[in-house]
Structure 1
Amino acid sequence: MSLHLLLEMTVKELEITTLKARVKLLEDREGGGIAQSGDDAPIKGRSLDEGEEAAKRVSDDIEEMETVLTSMDVASILTSRGVQVVPTV
């Protein structure tokens, strides 16, 4: 398996994880999760904030991986001598 394909699969897995976290967050906010008692509410609210932070970190990681993959593609094309002349506008 090529490095590019492995990284693409990793990016897709991270996207799926992010989407699952967002769905859970929305379900919890809309009351689709466990009912909160007065004692549990602050703990539950804090865990939702932590979930949002985790989802943001995963999203940032995905963007960074996409940038790296794009850079790798460009470097691969340039080093393979596949581009002989770069047109200018």
Structure 2
Amino acid sequence: MTNCAACHQPNGEGLGTFPALAGNANLADANLVIDRILNGAGTMPGFGGQLDDQKVAAVATYIRNSWGNDFGPVTPAEVAAKR
């Protein structure tokens, strides 16, 4: 798995065409976040084949609650339902 910070930056502010995660209201939609991690979109690769449900939930929870975001946790069960 590549380092997410390479595109989204360590401060979550994004880089060029890569979207900012800091203060991104779209992260309120847990299903959208899970889908992007699993399947990717545009230039972002999907990681569904590399990460189990627990790890996807951990990544989703982290980005939904970092850099000023406060959107709550994602559970492995939510991830499993999206697979």
Q: TM-score, normalised by structure 2?
A: 0.28
TM-score w.r.t. length of structure 1: 0.27
Greater relative contact order (Cα < 8 A, sep 6+): 1
